[in-house]
Amino acid sequence: MTRRFEFRLTDIAGLGVVHRVIAEDHRGFFSRLFCAEEFMGVGFTKQIAQINHTLTRRKGVVRGLHFQYPPHAEMKIVSCLRGEIYDVAVDLRVGSPTFLHWHAEVLSAENRRSLMIPEGFAHGFQALTNDCEIIYLHSTLYQPAAEGALNATDPLLAIAWPLEITEMSDRDRNHPLLSDEFKGIAT
């Protein structure tokens, strides 16, 4: 079997970076976004239930940090198909040695990287270029009643956004800051 992906685990358990291997010739290229067999081997053990596609028009915009509470917690694979983003995942798992630690990767059409995010993480990104198109593969259907979020500018997280944040939705801007009451989510 030809391997279509290279997987690299991060310092946060379960969080992985995926590099899509391409087959290319003078006509163009072929790239696979997902293969259940290969992803299962690195911990993505659920089926894909939903695929979302977004466009962020302006550089500097931050979207997120979103997650879903159990029993609707989701695994995600995030890929950038046009432009370049700074993609961030924050560990929210109760008892995790990396609780509230975050990891970021630059994802772009050119580098063909994806971020594989396990259950129990918040996710968001900053557009590093204009007109960024993102595709998200989700293991669970979106459930509005199960939605949770962190404030992307929370000083406790201290996310080092590479650009000045030029815009956020009112909803994302108004998510409360973390307090001692937040103990994480059980996965």
- Write the CB contacts of 26 (distance below 8 Å, at least 6 apart in sequence): none
Per-residue pLDDT tens over the stretch 135-147: 999 999 999 999 9
The pLDDT assigned to 43 comes to: 86
Q: How far lies 96's CA from each of 4, 37, 80, 125, 151, in Å?
A: 31, 27, 28, 23, 20
pLDDT at residue 2 is higher than 70: no
138 noted as active-site residue: no
CA 131 to chain centre: 18
**Domains in the chain: ranges and CATH:** 46-173 (2.60.120.10)
Exactly one of 66, 103, 123, 175 is catalytic; name it.
66
Nearest CA to 138 out of 89, 68, 88, 90 is that of 68
Q: Which of 18-32, 55-69, 88-102 has the lowest mean pLDDT?
A: 18-32
Residue 118 gets which letter from DSSP? -
What is the model's pTM?
0.94
Give mean pLDDT, residues 77-86.
Answer: 98
pLDDT at residue 112 is higher than 90: yes
Q: Distance between CA atoms of 154 and 42, rounded to whole angstroms?
A: 31
69 noted as active-site residue: no
Exactly one of 86, 103, 123, 136 is catalytic; name it.
136
CB of 67 closer than 8 Å to CB of 73: yes
Kindly state the tokens that stand for 173.
Answer: 């801007």
